[in-house]
Amino acid sequence: MRTQVAIIGGGPAGLLLSQLLHTNGIDTVLLERRTREHVLSRIRAGVLESGTVALMQQAGVGERVNDEGQVHEGAVIAAAGRMQRIDFSKLTGRHVTIYGQTEVTRDLYEARDAAEAVTLHECAGVKPHDIDTDAPYVTFLQGGKVHRLDCEFIAGCDGFHGPCRQAIPEARRTEYEKTYPFGWLGVLSETPPVASELIYAGSERGFALCSMRNETLSRYYVQCALSDSPEDWDDDMFWDELRRRLPEEVAANLETGPSVEKSIAPLRSFVCEPMRWGRLFLCGDAAHIVPPTGAKGLNTAASDVHYLFQALKAHFQNKNDALLDSYSTDALARIWKTERFSWWMTNLLHRYPEQTPFDIALQNAELDYIAQSTAAQQALAENYVGLPY
């Protein structure tokens, strides 16, 4: 089997890259470890930067996000006794769109089906070979047989635990990591959202987030201990704790109901450098992870896809490798800024186990500064709606 670009990982990053390349006549084969049903069952983020939506439109999968996505022109920071709305449109002229990652993935799968592009699921033991030569290839096990896929380039969109990052020699890669001493307990409920825009809440009891998927499906989070499990929290416990962390006027309007899905996610910041080795290019969680506070996970993957798509298009259509050579530098420059913003938002709104009164006073001073400074609000808004590519 042969293709121009082998894409390892069938999540939104791999699917978006494959669809963009397909629209430009570049052949791909996509390998995914899990079943399609499993990929579509993942509950993930739902805040899309304008750049991510533009990439979907460019890939020909923008119709449903345009029709069904909710445009949000602001968000609310509720902490230190105040509710401060950050007006994205006024401060930046841009907005974000609420549209679940599951729906992004579904749209991309349907487009790939329509294109009759090759997507192979349940591929075990995927391994890149000869990535520092002009003839890389990938081996994998499917249907009880070992297969070989020859290609010109490999895109590693296979997540943090995938094989692609590990294929870069350990002595030649640098990994930066910060783990946070808490997690997020998330609940999905078939209830109307408590507000028309996202509410980021900081309180003495910890962080909370009020989000949504659509007008009848809400997503809520509370900061929790890493030692907790979803079974430790029944629905009543969750709703009671969420109310305690929200301003009274918000909590009074909270409509509760049975949880459809409940899970706990640890928070981590991670970056791998470089994001290229030979003919292997890392995308998304394979190269970096951000805490979810800034709503950047899917959006950082999309920015990688933008840079890699442009680079591969220049190679195949114009025989120009300048963008391939600068891919890692270009992608990392934006990634580190996004890492900074997500780290800053996390520190601003969460309570840490060893936090001192001095630390809390600094948080309150920062929140006070944001409330009083248009420049501070603009900086927050510029990062939240997405830095330019």
**Strands, E assignment, the chain:** 5-8, 28-31, 47-48, 70-72, 74-79, 82-87, 96-98, 118-120, 124-129, 137-142, 145-150, 153-156, 174-189, 199-201, 208-214, 217-224, 259-273, 276-277, 280-282, 288-289
Active-site position among 22, 72, 262, 313:
72
Active-site position among 220, 292, 313, 315:
292
Q: Which residues of 190-218 are buried (b: 16+ CB within 10 A; e: fewer)?
A: ebbbbbebbbbbbbeebbbbbbbbbeebb
Residues 6+ apart with CB under 8 A from 274: 168, 172, 173, 328, 332
Residue 287: DSSP 8-state: T
For the record, the structure tokens of 261 come out as: 């899905």
* Catalytic residue list contains 180: no
Active-site position among 109, 180, 200, 220:
200
* Catalytic residue list contains 296: yes
Q: Does the bond joining 230 to the residue before it have cis omega, within 30 degrees of 0?
A: no
* Catalytic residue list contains 337: no
d(CA 72, CA 199): 12
Active-site position among 99, 137, 307, 384:
384
Sign (positive/negative) of CA torsion 109, 115, 116, 117?
negative
For the record, the structure tokens of 387 come out as: 């830095």
Give the CA distances from residue 276 to residues 162, 304, 330, 345, 360, in Å, rounded to whole numbers and listed in that order: 15, 12, 11, 29, 41
Active-site position among 22, 262, 288, 296:
296
Catalytic residues: 72, 200, 292, 296, 384
